[in-house]
């Protein structure tokens, strides 16, 4: 055979092997074609391919069409090593091993009794290399001792490379097949609804769980659009999710949508999407979890909590109403009894002018107390309803403080309490507030400072910008009362003569909060009490305000926004 003819024959055989690979032939068929092709090119040879199991370190039958089946079966599972014949040694060392005469080659000492009875006199084995190392061995046997020439070496090298291609191809597509099988099982057997769609949301594959969830046979959904099973209100959001995914955006958390079953019922579902594949083969993987029962349970829990909260609120409101009525009854009964008693006294007895004037004074004081109490209760009710009328303007705090101290001076003098302030009577600090309500706040705070004070004590009023402080040198407030200080009808303690209905500080908090301000208290037993009222700051021209930091403009009733200091 001429060299040209041999080259053509070699190319024809290589082409045949590659056609087998491209056509999806089995590994055994491809390797068999490789070994037979070489046997045709090397007369008298018998070839085999053994495949390495790297984990076990053993060689296993790949193809040996001309070797005795008994011999192939005997060496199947051969462990590789330094003296494991030609094939086991070549795989172990990663180099070609030529045993010209099996009968005398030391590496065949343990295996010559297998080979010689089958007419195998020599064996030349080459490692088949892949990307990750040795894949197996390609062996050429002769019946008698033999040493390969240069031509045989070139041919064996070529067909060893073909064997490597066949084994790599088998590994790649075998792994791909296993992966596809795993995906198929996960997809079809998953209890979660799953589907594959194109980038426009058209169903390409649907598993039984999703079909059952939607009440459609899988075939009825194929080639139909996702919009078919989505509630109209959710279609735009799902479409936007698919478009963003197609544009390269990272998958986001589940999108909750409503799905329409074949029977018209609605299923609440959590939709998770991810992109699979690349280029024109990109598809969307959908995971669909039915959350209808979960959402129903959540709604039931929410409704139960809201009902329990409403019941507690109703109970608290009922208890508060009872307490309010009880307290008002007590607070109103005393002055009303005084009014009635002195009125009867005036109507039944002829009193001297001095006693008559005293009785009228008691009636007037009691009536004013009732009027103040009713006014405070009405103001608290308006604050709670957020209906308190306010007329904010630029307020001169110094002028208001002097006015309030002058009004309360007689009350303080009766207990020996000294009222002090360093503020100017005009042109001092200003705030943006309702002057009538600020006066009401100051009267309540200074009155509290006088009532809950030691005899011959002091009350000092100061201002820093729009922040007004009312401090006293009294006994202070017990720690247990600080958190309840601004609740209606809560007494802070003090002298036995202090009196009061316990509405003053609650009203202070409500009025200040309604004016976009805030109140804080700093007190401890034996160290006196300081109440700070922070009001909005008036702009220089009085045209706008700046709310104090941390103010809660919306809150207008006692509760959040009160800050306690010491204690």
Got the DSSP string for 305-339? HHHHHHHHHHHHHHHHHHHHHHHHHHHHHHHHHHH
Q: Are residues 84 and 169 in the same domain?
A: yes
d(CA 239, CA 256): 13
Domain edge (last residue) among 150, 178, 206: 178
Q: How confident is the model at residue 481 (pLDDT cuts 50, 70, 90)?
A: confident
**pLDDT (0 to 100) of residue 153:** 92
d(CA 465, CA 454): 30
For position 341, which CATH number holds? 1.10.287.130
**Between residues 307 and 332, the one the model is more confident about:** 307
Residue 374 has pLDDT above 50, yes or no: yes
> Which of 101-105, 325-329, 445-449, 534-538 has the least mean pLDDT?
325-329
Q: Are residues 302 and 441 in the same domain?
A: no
When pLDDT is averaged across residues 416-435 and rounded to a whole number, the result is 90
When pLDDT is averaged across residues 491-497 and rounded to a whole number, the result is 45
Q: For residue range 376-392, what is the model confidence (pLDDT) as tens digits?
A: 667 666 666 677 788 89
pTM score: 0.41
Q: Are residues 174 and 197 in the same domain?
A: no
How far apart, in Å, are the Cα atoms of 253 and each of 195, 270, 272, 274, 287? Answer: 17, 9, 7, 10, 12
> What's the distance, CA 150 to chain centroid?
70
d(CA 332, CA 501): 10
**pLDDT (0 to 100) of residue 552:** 40
Residues contacting 328, CB < 8 A, separation 6+? 373, 377
Residue 501 has pLDDT above 60, yes or no: no
For position 41, which CATH number holds? 3.30.450.40
DSSP state of 490: -
Say what percent of the chain tops pLDDT 90.
30
246 in a structural domain: yes
Q: How confident is the model at residue 44 (pLDDT cuts 50, 70, 90)?
A: very high
Q: Are residues 359 and 501 in the same domain?
A: no
**Between residues 544 and 99, the one the model is more confident about:** 99
Residue 51 has pLDDT above 50, yes or no: yes
Q: Are residues 267 and 403 in the same domain?
A: no
**Between residues 141 and 216, the one the model is more confident about:** 141
507 with 515: CB under 8 angstroms?
no
Residue 52 has pLDDT above 90, yes or no: yes
97 with 88: CB under 8 angstroms?
no
**pLDDT (0 to 100) of residue 108:** 94
When pLDDT is averaged across residues 342-349 and rounded to a whole number, the result is 75
> Which of 161-165, 199-203, 296-300, 551-555 has the least mean pLDDT?
551-555
The residue count for the chain: 567
**pLDDT (0 to 100) of residue 491:** 53
Domain edge (last residue) among 225, 257, 290: 290
**pLDDT (0 to 100) of residue 353:** 83
**pLDDT (0 to 100) of residue 14:** 81
**pLDDT (0 to 100) of residue 291:** 87
Q: For residue range 409-423, what is the model confidence (pLDDT) as tens digits?
A: 888 888 899 999 999
**Between residues 121 and 359, the one the model is more confident about:** 121
Q: For residue range 236-270, what is the model confidence (pLDDT) as tens digits?
A: 888 888 888 888 777 777 888 899 888 888 889 88
**pLDDT (0 to 100) of residue 487:** 66
When pLDDT is averaged across residues 163-175 and rounded to a whole number, the result is 81
Q: Are residues 350 and 479 in the same domain?
A: no
185 in a structural domain: no
DSSP state of 117: G
Residue 145 has pLDDT above 60, yes or no: yes
Name the residue among 460, 466, 473 with its Cα closest to residue 537. Answer: 466
Q: How confident is the model at residue 566 (pLDDT cuts 50, 70, 90)?
A: very low
Q: Are residues 407 and 542 in the same domain?
A: yes
Domain around 222: 191-290
Say how many domains are in the chain: 4
Order of all β-strands in the sheet with 283-290: 203-206, 193-197, 283-290, 266-276, 255-260
d(CA 164, CA 159): 9
Residues contacting 280, CB < 8 A, separation 6+? none
**pLDDT (0 to 100) of residue 10:** 76
**SS3 breakdown of the chain: % helix, strand, coil, rounded to 5?**
50, 20, 30
Residues contacting 256, CB < 8 A, separation 6+? 268, 269, 270, 271, 291
**pLDDT (0 to 100) of residue 175:** 60
183 in a structural domain: no
Q: Are residues 282 and 353 in the same domain?
A: no
For position 276, which CATH number holds? 3.30.450.20
User: Would the CA dihedral through 402, 407, 408, 409 be positive or negative?
Assistant: positive
Q: For residue range 285-307, what is the model confidence (pLDDT) as tens digits?
A: 888 888 888 888 888 898 899 88
pLDDT averaged over every residue in the chain: 82
> Which of 174-188, 342-356, 405-419 has the least mean pLDDT?
174-188
**pLDDT (0 to 100) of residue 183:** 67
**Between residues 521 and 187, the one the model is more confident about:** 521
**pLDDT (0 to 100) of residue 557:** 36
For the ranges 252-266, 302-316, 463-477, the one whose mean pLDDT is highest = 463-477
């Amino acid at each position: 055979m001429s060299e040209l003819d041999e080259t053509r024959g070699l190319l024809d055989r290589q082409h045949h092997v590659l056609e087998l690979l491209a056509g999806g032939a089995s590994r055994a068929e491809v390797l068999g074609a490789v070994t037979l092709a070489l046997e045709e090119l090397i007369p008298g040879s018998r070839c085999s391919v053994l495949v390495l199991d790297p984990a076990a370190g053993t060689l296993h039958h790949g193809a040996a069409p001309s070797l005795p089946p008994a011999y192939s079966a005997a060496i199947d599972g051969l462990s590789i090593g330094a003296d494991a014949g030609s094939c086991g040694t070549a795989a172990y060392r990663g180099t070609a091993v030529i045993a010209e005469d099996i009968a005398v080659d030391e590496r065949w000492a343990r295996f010559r009794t297998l080979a010689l009875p089958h007419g195998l006199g020599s064996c030349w084995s080459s490692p088949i290399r892949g990307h990750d190392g040795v894949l197996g061995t390609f062996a050429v046997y002769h019946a008698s001792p033999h040493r390969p020439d240069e031509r045989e070496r070139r041919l064996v090298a070529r067909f060893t490379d073909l064997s490597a291609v066949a084994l790599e191809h088998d590994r790649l597509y075998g792994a791909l097949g296993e992966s596809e099988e795993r995906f198929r099982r996960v997809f079809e057997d998953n209890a979660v609804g799953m589907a594959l769609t194109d980038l426009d949301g058209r169903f390409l594959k649907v598993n039984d769980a999703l079909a059952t969830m939607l009440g459609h046979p899988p075939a009825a959904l194929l080639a139909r659009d996702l919009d078919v099973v989505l509630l109209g209100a959710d279609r735009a959001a799902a479409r936007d999710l698919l478009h963003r995914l197609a544009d390269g955006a990272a998958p986001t958390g589940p999108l909750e949508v409503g799905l329409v079953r074949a029977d018209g019922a609605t299923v609440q579902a959590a939709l998770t999407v991810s992109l699979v594949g690349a280029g024109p083969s990109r598809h969307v993987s959908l995971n669909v979890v039915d959350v209808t029962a979960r959402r129903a349970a959540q709604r039931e829990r929410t409704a139960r909590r809201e009902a329990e909260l409403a019941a507690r609120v109703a109970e608290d409101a009922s208890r508060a109403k009872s307490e309010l009525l009880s307290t008002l009854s007590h607070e109103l009964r005393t002055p009303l009894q005084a009014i009635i008693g002195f009125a009867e006294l005036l109507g039944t007895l002829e009193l001297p002018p001095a006693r008559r004037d005293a009785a009228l004074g008691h009636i007037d004081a009691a009536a004013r107390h009732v009027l103040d109490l009713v006014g405070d209760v009405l103001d608290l009710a308006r604050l709670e309803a957020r209906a308190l009328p306010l007329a904010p303007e630029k307020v001169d705090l110094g002028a208001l403080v002097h006015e309030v101290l002058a009004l309360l001076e007689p009350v303080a003098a009766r207990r020996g309490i000294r009222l002090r302030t360093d503020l100017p009577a005009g042109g001092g600090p200003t705030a943006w507030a309702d002057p009538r309500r600020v006066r009401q706040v100051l009267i309540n705070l200074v009155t509290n400072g006088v009532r809950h004070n030691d005899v011959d004590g002091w009350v000092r009023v100061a201002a820093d910008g729009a922040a007004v402080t009312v401090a006293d040198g009294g006994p202070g407030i017990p720690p247990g009362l600080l958190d309840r200080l601004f609740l209606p009808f809560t007494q802070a303690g003090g002298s036995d003569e202090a009196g009061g209905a316990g509405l003053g500080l609650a009203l202070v908090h409500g009025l200040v909060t309604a004016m976009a301000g805030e109140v804080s208290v700093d007190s401890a037993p034996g160290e006196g009490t300081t109440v700070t009222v922070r009001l909005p700051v008036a702009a220089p021209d009085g045209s706008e305000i700046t709310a104090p930091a941390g103010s809660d403009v919306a809150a207008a009733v006692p509760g959040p926004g009160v800050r306690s200091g010491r204690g």
